Amino acid sequence: MPQLLIQQRPLITRPESIQGVAPFIAQILARRGVASEQELELKLKHLLAPGMKGLPEAVQLMDQAIDQQKKIVIVGDYDADGATSTALMILALREMGAHADYLVPDRFKYGYGLTPAIADLAFEAFRPDLLITVDNGISSHAGVAQAQAHGMQVIITDHHLTTKATPTAEAVVNPNQPGCGFPSKALAGVGVAFYVLAALSSLRARQGKASAKVAGYLDLVALGTYADVASLDYNNRILVDAGLKRIQQGLGRAGISALLDIAARDPAQLKAQDLGFVLGPRINAAGRMETMDIGIECLLAPDMQSAYPLAQQLNQLNVERRQVESQMKQEALAELAKLQLDQDNLPPALIMFEPHWHQGVIGIVAGRLKEQFHRPAIVFAADQDGRHIKGSARSIEGIHIRDSIERIAEQHPHLVSHFGGHAAAAGLTILKENFAAFKAEFEQLMAGQDSSLFQAVLWTDGALPDEALQTATADALQQLTPWGQQFPAPVFEGRFKLLDYRWLKDAHLKLRLALASGQALEAIAFNAAGKYAFDPAQGQVRLVYELDKNTFNGVTSLQLRVLHLEQ
């Protein structure tokens, strides 16, 4: 484990300007960039207006296609964002009377995005007049040209970063495309699709034509946004909160209800984090292990009877995904152990390839390595053509992984065949014979980074005042959700007197602590055995923790959930 530096989050805005909350809560919010109490009001009326570049052209084309009963095909992506975007488009367009089908490429055969082969496949399967991408397409110049050669019009809706000219599609909607003034760059693919459909529906409603209740699909928007780890700026928090409330009230899609039932989760108690850690992985498992059609069909299912078998299939695929991931991670750690790495001589990036590794799980394994060693990680697996290998990259704070790959692609064009992504996560394809050369170039590029970036930091909101250590504070913080990417759940630190301790199942450490006032507190450190050097004789502990509640024998009390322990 990397040595942790415990630091307090800096204030981004002024706590004094956030009225109506306790001072320590105003501090928490100011550390997350909240500028006023209005940003705590997560109402749909506060959503940003749909002033996106390319939106009017896209809406006009879609409106005409519906009126003229043209064939529309949606080309999705094979992750949870792509699945929710595809389902959202199909459901809303069909509600407006459109003739719409979808196609999600098999990641193992066709790779990522609208490739010429996908354009051919769409043409053969559907002979569409209009092709709409969701959550992909911003770099698909050749694929757009191929679709147009088949006589299709093309609309791209995407959110991935690009520094290049956009493809010559009939319309391109992406808040991250050059020249788009839309204030939030954090929308997920499903968020972009939502804006397009909302604008289309309101145009059609104004003209007295069949429209859609697009707000009724916010459960899909919330799920795709959170599962894609999109930054929770004010706009995304509104979208996630509204969708989460629909699920909690039992108004979500049948497929979501079925997945929650199989995972033994009560929808009424659902938290935003569950979108990312309970629902997201089960839908993602389809695209990772088999075909994303299973995930999309589950989300499209009109009732529990049709949704449940699909949800069971997704759950089983997720079990398989976990087994494969665990095996691959063990192999990767064994390879690293052979290099006899310790924290003082870790390379500036962890880049690994094994021919038998599973392409669907390399991203998760890269993420696990990044978390464990606090280094950018790229994990490669063999492509089906035998000549190329596909890599999934995950990065630490301060190192923009997509831009780093682009730099190598520009300096050594022969080394990178394709790439795309975001600051924290990206994908790429290289020739197998170039693996060693790419690895050397990438490690050299990372070696030139500021060395302080490779120091793992545990950010906290400082110490809580003693009087705030009560269940009411945990409830107050829950009212400020959703917490997530770039709007993290509050984490506190403090020194406590140790009154008592016991081990549960030889793995979890249960602590009884005392505050200066004499008040006693419970804390729990899960999987603490072998993780912390705990010496009860010291009589005190320094903890980094989250506030939690524990109900035992009908009595609810405060419990600190320990994230880090030292003495």
CATH topology of domain 339-457: Diaminopimelate Epimerase; Chain A, domain 1 (3.10.310)
Local structure of 502: helix, strand or coil: strand
Strand 71-75 to strand 130-134: parallel, antiparallel, or no bridges (unpaired)? parallel
The encoded tokens of residue 153 equal 């019009």
pLDDT, tens digit, 9 for 90 and up, residues 28-81 = 999 999 999 999 999 999 999 999 999 999 999 999 999 999 999 999 998 999
Q: What is the pLDDT of residues 99-149, one digit of tens each?
A: 999 999 887 777 778 999 999 999 999 999 999 999 999 999 999 999 999
Residue 442 has pLDDT above 80, yes or no: yes
Quote the pLDDT of residue 196: 98
**Average pLDDT score over residue span 316-323:** 95
For position 348, what pLDDT does the model report?
A: 94
Span 153-169, pLDDT tens digits: 999 999 998 888 999 99
Say if residues 151 and 128 touch (Cβ distance below 8 Å): no
pLDDT of 237 reads 98
Question: For residue 487, what are the β-bridge partners?
Answer: 484
Encode pLDDT of 181-226 as tens digits: 999 999 999 999 999 999 999 999 999 999 999 999 999 999 999 9
Q: DSSP labels for 507-552?
A: TEEEEEEE-TTS-EEEEEETT-TTTS---GGG-EEEEEEEEEEEEE
Instruction: Report the length, in residues, of the chain.
Output: 567
Nearest to 13 by CA among 31, 28, 25: 31
Question: Do residues 220 and 80 make contact, with C-beta atoms less than 8 angstroms apart?
Answer: no
Q: 45-317: what fold?
A: inorganic pyrophosphatase (n-terminal core) (3.90.1640)
| pLDDT band (50, 70, 90) for residue 341 | low
**Average pLDDT for 451-472:** 95
Q: Select from 3.30.70.20, 3.40.50.2300, 2.120.10.30, 2.40.50.460 the CATH code of 458-566.
A: 2.40.50.460
Q: What is the mean pLDDT of residues 470-480?
A: 95
State yes or no: pLDDT of 344 exceeds 80: no
What's the pLDDT at 35? 94
- Tell me the pLDDT tens digit for each residue of 171-193: 999 999 999 999 999 999 999 99
pLDDT in tens, 273-291: 999 999 999 999 999 898 8
d(CA 82, CA 134): 6
Domain map (residue ranges) of the chain: 45-317, 339-457, 458-566
Q: How far is the C-alpha of 327 from the C-alpha of 141, rounded, in Å?
A: 38
Q: Is residue 375 predicted with pLDDT exceeding 70?
A: yes
| Average pLDDT, rounded, for the chain | 94
Cis status, amide bond into 23, omega within 30 of 0: no
**DSSP-derived secondary structure letter, 276:** I
Is the pLDDT at 342 greater than 70? The verdict is no
- For the beta carbon of residue 42, count every other beta carbon within 10 angstroms: 19
